[in-house]
Amino acid sequence: MRAAIESHVLTAAIDKPAAPAFNCAPCTHLPRKSTVPFMASETLVEVRGLSRFYGDVQAINNISFDICQGDVLGFLGPNGAGKTTTMQIISGNLAPSEGSVTIAGHDLLEEPRAAKAAIGYLPEQPPIYRELTVDEYLDYCAALNRIPRTQRKTARETAKEKCGLHGVGRRLIGNLSKGYRQRVGLAQAIIHLPPVVILDEPTIGLDPIQIREIRHLIRSLGKDHGVILSTHILPEVQASCNRVQIINQGSLVLNDSIDGLSRHMKSTSLFVAFRQRPELALLEQLKGVKAAHHNGENRVQIVHELEADPTEEVIKLAAEKQWGLYEIKPQTVSLEEIFVELTTEEPPPEETEA
């Protein structure tokens, strides 16, 4: 069996070209400090005007975005939104109908081998050989990526260190837990130090402890690479990413940083419950309050400016007027609510007969 593997490795090494030097334009959307000397603050992925048709059906429509080193991009979308099509095009497995994709300075259509050499990919089901040990498999992956024989051990040990695989190098992959098999999949994706790493549902089927470990690995990968994380798990994006994109019906409906998204998610209203019915006019006179509305029996919704939280003033006023305040809480907006709002069409109004 090992002789067959060596033969496969030699064939792949002959057929596959050497990885090119990376020459990218500086990233403009978010300057960052880099820990990798050959691609500091580079734009690693440039997607411009990407469209794809299947016959008369348009799967994606005029999509454009950039990814820089240090970006961990969460790519979200409901089923059938065009997310899979976009990922297939970016990874070089599907040609676009219109538009262009540049990976680490190489056009994916004009220089496909050079562009693909700059990508590390972990599919939903890791491409592992259960009958090999971890070291044997990573050596095999190093050879497939044309890493010189004298440098393969160093590349293997570096990937193992990044992915927390020390101590399991001689164990059969088939005997590892699913969490460790996922780590092996991550190690094969980064063993050749690609500028761009694409991860497809990397925490599916893992237990909570394994999920926390993989999220930590993803965040650490973002220091040295540009990472695209495709997932349906919304908390995954908030825990692992610094940018988020949402695609719906083939178009990008959101492209923002997590910090920018958090500002949208901040509360701008309070729900307050009293034992006595309050006077709305007095509440509306408080600093920063835009409006106050009754929301049930002795309950009030207070809408306020983003940076002006009137909680203390409401409590003070309620005590002075003896309204018997017994509950006050902010109304927060979750990523799930934003996702549903952006990806759910409102039903058309019912027509009424004249």
142-167 tens-digit pLDDT? 999 999 999 999 999 999 998 989 88
The pairing of beta strand 119-122 with beta strand 196-200: parallel
Q: pLDDT at position 239, please? A: 87
The string of DSSP letters for 263-323 reads HHHS--EEEEEESS---HHHHHTSTTEEEEEE-STTEEEEEE-TT---HHHHHHHHHHHT-
CA distance 266 to 276: 29
Paired tokens of 202: 């990397």
Q: pLDDT at position 345, please? A: 65
Instruction: Note every long-range contact of 5-13, with CB atoms under 8 Å and residues 24 or more positions apart, other chains counting.
Output: 5/136, 5/140, 9/140, 9/143, 9/144, 10/143, 12/143, 12/144, 13/143, 13/144, 13/146
Q: pLDDT at position 11, please? A: 39
* Successive 10-residue mean pLDDT values, the chain, 354 residues: 41 39 38 37 89 94 93 91 90 93 94 94 89 96 95 95 91 93 93 93 85 88 90 85 92 87 73 92 91 88 85 92 91 77 64 45
CA distance 253 to 222: 24
CA distance 328 to 24: 52
Q: pLDDT at position 153, please? A: 95
Are 118 and 19 spatial neighbours (Cβ–Cβ below 8 Å)? yes
pTM of the model: 0.72
CA distance 221 to 189: 11
**DSSP H or E run through 12:** helix 2-15
55-99 tens-digit pLDDT? 999 999 999 999 998 999 999 988 888 988 998 899 998 999 999
What three-state secondary structure class fits 66? strand
- Exposed (0-12), middle (13-18) or buried (19+): which is 288, by Cβ within 10 Å? middle
- Exposed (0-12), middle (13-18) or buried (19+): which is 66, by Cβ within 10 Å? buried
Give the fold, CATH level 3, of 25-118+194-265: Rossmann fold (3.40.50)
Q: pLDDT at position 42, please? A: 79
The pairing of beta strand 98-103 with beta strand 106-107: antiparallel
Are 67 and 43 spatial neighbours (Cβ–Cβ below 8 Å)? yes
Contacts of 160 by beta carbon, 8 Å cutoff, 6+ apart: 134, 138, 166, 169, 187
All structural domains of the chain with their residue ranges: 25-118+194-265, 267-331
Amino acid at position 158, single letter: T
CA distance 329 to 301: 10
Q: pLDDT at position 44, please? A: 93
With respect to CATH, is domain 267-331 assigned 3.30.70.100? yes
